[in-house]
Amino acid sequence: MGVCLPRPIIDDDNNGGMKQTAEEDEKKTKTTESTINNRRCKPNERVPLGKLTKFGYSTDFLQKYEKGKLLGRGQFGCTYAATDVATGENVAVKMIEKKNMILPIAVEDVKREVKILKVLSGHENIVRFYDAFEDDDYVYIVMELCEGGELLDRILARLPYSLCTAISYIFPHM
């Protein structure tokens, strides 16, 4: 399953502000706080924070899109070509595994990425963001499919750039 966080220490207001361990809390309650895929977690089982997080995104990705071929792999997930079932439009979908979101900062990074894409979507030099989805195992970020190849390869093939050339690419209408 990979590296996981231990169950957190719970600050229970009923015990005078003293912290109690997850094991003590497990003895107090008959139900478990985290259930993954409808199975009961063991008291000492470690669960990645991402698996416990509900991002608030739509949950119907598999009904709206058909996943296609793998386009690339990154540190936290993979990007696939996909097709919008309703319109037939080709898109890219970044699938980020929740089990890889070990620390709170990883969860916040995904949330921040979606927020940034929403704000910048519509700019002519930024990939268009369509929507974000989630299920028990993945966060799906659906965006414009760019089929022009790797940007870094093109940049490296044309080095060195003069300042004027770089500015002309960033601000083509100046």
Annotated binding site for ATP: 94
The gap from C-alpha 41 to its chain's centroid, in whole angstroms, comes to 23
List Cα–Cα distances, 130 to 54, 64, 91, 109, 143, in angstroms: 20, 12, 9, 18, 5
Residue set of the binding site:
94
Alpha-carbon gap, residue 7 to 35, rounded angstroms? 12
Alpha-carbon gap, residue 76 to 2, rounded angstroms? 13
Q: Where are the alpha helices (DSSP H) in 59-133?
A: 61-64, 104-120
